[in-house]
Amino acid sequence: MSNLVVWELLGHLIIRSVETRIGDPVETLKLERLREKHPLIQYIEARFNEFFKPAGGLSCPELRERLNEFLKEYPEKTKKLVEAIVSEYYLQRRPRKTPKHYTDFQQLMV
């Protein structure tokens, strides 16, 4: 249920970050439709758990408390952190293309 906490507290920042960083309206609509069930939200939850974590991770109420405090004390840092995590997530999901020069080199070796 921690993903619901992330969505409730950071959903507006996440949507704005996807709109500005990714710029894909289909992805934004998918996020708005799936809400806390979207894999991005689970990814952000895991990253914030790492960021705030004690040795064993955080429970749902602890994560809510830490996120609330962080949002109140550091709203700009929170926004930048969410933007960075969103960018990181989509960079990892992007299919890697083989550079053209590498493909040419492989053909020469045959």
Alpha-carbon distances, residue 55 vs 51, 84, 95 (angstroms): 11, 24, 34
Question: What confidence score (pLDDT) does residue 82 get?
Answer: 92
- Helical packing angle, 25-34 and 2-17, nearest 10°: 160
**Given this model, what pLDDT does residue 34 score?**
94
Taking 50 as the pLDDT cut, the residues of the chain under it are: 98-99, 101-110
Q: What single-letter amino acid sits at 52?
A: F
- Kindly list the domain boundaries of the chain, sorted by start residue: 2-109
**What is the per-residue pLDDT for 109?**
43
